[in-house]
Amino acid sequence: MKVAKGPKGYRRIIPSMTALVEFEAVARLGSFTNAASELGVSQAAVSRQVKFLEETLGVKLFHRSHRSISLTGEGESLYLVVAESMQKIAGVFDRLSAGFEQQELVLASTAAFSQLRLVPRLANLKRLQPKLQLRLTDPMFIADLRHNEVDVAVRFGDGSWGDGTATLLFDEEVFPVCSPRWLLENGAPDTLEALARMPLIDSDSTSEGWMAWDTWFASVGYRPARLNYALRCSIYTDAVLAARCGQGVALGWGRLVTDMLASGELVRLHTASCKPADSYYIVVPHGRSITSSITGLVEWLHGDPAPL
């Protein structure tokens, strides 16, 4: 079979969008009959479209038995792509048909920043921008903003990234925290040596520059022979939760635990603190149009910095 050189229009590559729609319904519902009912056509019509798709591709998309059907490997591959694409198309149609009454923006941040800093403040954002619909995503899946549908990202670093324009959001301070009950039962350490002997809750260092206990102690000028780890976590939010539950002392990233300090869920130990050289930045991908919604979101992120 000779393949024509040069670019192909979608119509030449995908001969029938109707066939894809009906295939998606069959695959999702696991039934030609149910798909026909949902689409408002006959079962025979659905069968013809799926058969046409199979003949065009030259592969079987379904295993057919007397009472059931299941996707083949090729069918599964096609379904995953078609289903995701149709969901995105449906989302755009919903927004367009609503006359942009709801404007979705995709905001990327670490799970810790999202859960501890953003989500508790969303009610205020909703009051300021009632038409804004926010979608939060984790940057571990979108390391390069140039190839993803991200409108704004919050990053921790030095502000030097090649895929967007960075604006300083605020700095950071890191210090020990624990629950009020734990402090009452164990007392506050008066030296770094005493702190190192206490049950420490650690979380993994990350590529974004987040530090663990060993790095923190080094940054404040003390290198203990050993550290007394009570619990190690791969996720920072787990370490914070463990501290709140009285399991020991965790590192408090000030911009993230400010609400828990204010509410009394956590208390700060004033043994020592570290101010990292890196800071939080707002990053807008290169080539992204700066809409009023993005401007409003950036202004909201800048607001209420909660000084440490």
| Nearest Cα residue to 212 out of 240, 246, 250, 177 | 250
Rounded Cα distance, 269 and 267, in Å: 7
State which H helix or E strand residue 195 sits in: helix 192-197
- Which residues are within 8 A (CB) of 307 and not within 5 positions of it... i.e. 6 or more apart? none
Q: What pLDDT is recorded for position 206?
A: 66
pLDDT exceeds cutoff 60 at 172: yes
Mean of pLDDT over the chain: 84
What single DSSP character describes residue 118? I
pLDDT at 98 over 60: no
pLDDT, position 2: 44
Segment among 108-122, 240-254, 278-292 with least mean pLDDT: 278-292
pLDDT at 86 over 90: no
Lowest mean pLDDT among 1-10, 66-75, 82-91: 1-10
Number of H helices, E strands in the chain: 13, 12
Check residue 3 and give its pLDDT: 43
List where CATH 1.10.10.10 sits in the chain. 10-97
Query: Is residue 276 very low, low, confident or very high in pLDDT (cuts 50, 70, 90)?
Result: very high
pLDDT tops 80 at residue 178: yes
Look up the CATH number of domain 174-268: 3.40.190.10
Q: What is the pLDDT of residues 123-139, one digit of tens each?
A: 888 888 888 888 888 76
- pTM, entire model: 0.64
Beta strands in the chain (DSSP E): 62-64, 69-71, 103-108, 132-137, 152-157, 164-170, 174-178, 200-203, 229-233, 249-253, 267-268, 279-285
| Section 65-70 average pLDDT | 85
Beta-strand ranges (E) seen in 49-199 are 62-64, 69-71, 103-108, 132-137, 152-157, 164-170, 174-178
Query: Residue 60: is its pLDDT beyond 60?
Result: yes
Q: Which CATH class is domain 10-97?
A: mainly alpha
Report residue 159 as tokens.
């502000």
Q: And the tokens for 305? A: 């910095």
- Is residue 181 pLDDT above 60, yes or no? yes
pLDDT in tens, 225-260: 899 999 999 889 999 999 999 999 999 999 999 999
Distances (CA, A) of 200 to 196, 233, 253: 8, 11, 15
* Spatial separation of the C-alpha atoms in residues 21 and 49, rounded to whole Å: 9
Percent of the chain whose predicted confidence (pLDDT) is above 70: 84
Side by side, the strands of the sheet bearing 152-157 are 132-137, 103-108, 152-157, 279-285, 164-170
Tens digits of residue pLDDT in 197-236: 999 999 987 656 678 999 999 999 999 989 999 999 988 9
What are the distances in angstroms from CA 63 to CA 72, 77, 81, 293? Answer: 6, 14, 19, 48
Q: Encode pLDDT of 17-45 as tens digits.
A: 888 899 988 988 889 999 999 889 999 99
Cβ atoms of 273 and 187 within 8 Å: the answer is no
Q: What is the pLDDT of residue 12?
A: 62
Quick one: pLDDT at residue 142? 47
Q: What is the pLDDT of residue 202?
A: 94
The pLDDT of residue 167 is 87
Q: Number of C-alpha atoms within 13 angstroms, CB side, residue 132?
A: 24
Fold (CATH) for 103-171+279-302 = D-Maltodextrin-Binding Protein; domain 2 (3.40.190)
What is the percentage of the chain residues whose pLDDT exceeds 90?
A: 43
CATH 3.40.190.10 domain locations along the chain:
103-171+279-302, 174-268
pLDDT computed for residue 8 by the predictor: 53
